[in-house]
Structures are given as structure tokens and as C-alpha cells.
């Protein structure tokens, strides 16, 4: 039988200035460790610490620009585009443009702070 997920859980975000994270599926909202699905809203100028996650992450940009720095350069991911980051790849996300960005992130397995392996600040 299908299960309704009536609302997301707000999750604390890393980076400056803070972004909003609403987790629909994952360890916090549904107790699922297989994957997480979160709706992100990042303001202009938001920058997250670099990380080498122990999960695959798929990100679909709904609005604005998500900048994805990686060891070999940078990808600019715009509304209507998506990006895949494989487990073990170093990345740093940011939203440099005036409108910020809105996007959906799917992590396999589900996101945890420990598995993000963030760089020391």
C-alpha cells in the first residue's frame, strides 16, 4: 500500500549564508537509510564546505544556478539540468548568482553528516 509523506522535516544546513533543506525521504523524516530526497533553497552567495561524500548524489536544479566545483574544474548547473556526483569524488557546492538556486538532491545511500566527509573549516 502506498504511504503518504505528509510533510518534510527541516534539516540544519552547512554553509554561509544558511540555506533551507526540507527532507522528504531519508533518515530524518522517514527513517529510510537506502536513499534521501531533499528540497533545497539556497540564497545568493551561499557556499558549502568542500566534501568527499560516501554516497552518490543526484541533483536536479529547478531554479537558478548551482555551481559544482570538483578536482578538475567547475560545472555550472542551471534550471532544467542535473548533475551526478559519484561517491568518493571531492566537490564543493555554491549558488553565486543573485537569485540563488532551488534544487532537489537525491543521495544513495541516504545522506548523513558523517558520510558527507566535509573538509575541516
> What pLDDT is attached to residue 57?
98
32 phi, psi to nearest 5 deg: -85, 125
Q: Is 117 exposed, middle or buried (0-12, 13-18, 19+ CB in 10 A)?
A: middle
Q: Examine the pLDDT at 117 and tell me if it is beyond 90.
A: yes
Task: Decide if pLDDT at 33 tops 90.
Answer: yes
Examine the pLDDT at 49 and tell me if it is beyond 90. yes
In the chain, pLDDT over 70 holds for what percent of residues?
A: 100
Q: Tally the C-alpha atoms within 13 A of residue 80's C-alpha that lie toward its C-beta.
A: 0
Question: What secondary structure does DSSP assign to 34-69, as a single string?
Answer: S-EEEEEEE-TTEEPPPB--SSEEEEEEEEEEEEEE
Q: What is the DSSP letter of 113?
A: H
CATH code linked to domain 18-116: 2.60.120.10
**Alpha-carbon torsion, ordered 36, 42, 47, 49, to 10 deg:** -20
Q: pTM for this one?
A: 0.94
Domain boundaries, the chain: 18-116
Q: Report phi then psi at 64, rounded to 5.
A: 85, -155
What tens digit of pLDDT does each residue of 16-29 get?
A: 899 999 999 999 99
Q: Read off the pLDDT band of 55 (50, 70, 90).
A: very high
Q: Output the CA torsion 77→51→5→103 (10° steps).
A: -20
Amino acid at each position: 500500500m502506498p504511504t503518504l509523506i505528509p510533510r518534510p522535516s527541516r534539516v540544519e544546513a552547512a554553509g554561509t549564508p544558511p540555506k533551507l533543506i526540507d527532507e522528504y525521504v531519508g533518515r530524518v523524516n522517514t527513517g529510510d537509510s537506502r536513499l534521501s530526497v531533499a528540497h533545497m533553497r539556497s540564497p545568493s552567495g551561499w557556499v558549502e564546505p568542500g566534501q568527499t561524500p560516501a554516497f552518490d548524489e543526484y541533483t536536479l536544479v529547478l531554479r537558478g544556478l548551482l555551481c559544482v566545483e570538483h578536482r578538475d574544474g567547475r560545472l555550472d548547473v542551471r534550471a532544467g539540468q542535473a548533475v551526478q556526483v559519484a561517491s568518493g569524488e571531492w566537490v564543493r557546492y555554491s549558488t553565486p548568482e543573485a537569485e540563488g538556486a532551488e534544487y532537489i538532491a537525491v543521495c544513495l545511500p541516504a545522506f548523513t553528516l558523517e558520510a558527507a566527509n566535509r573538509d575541516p573549516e
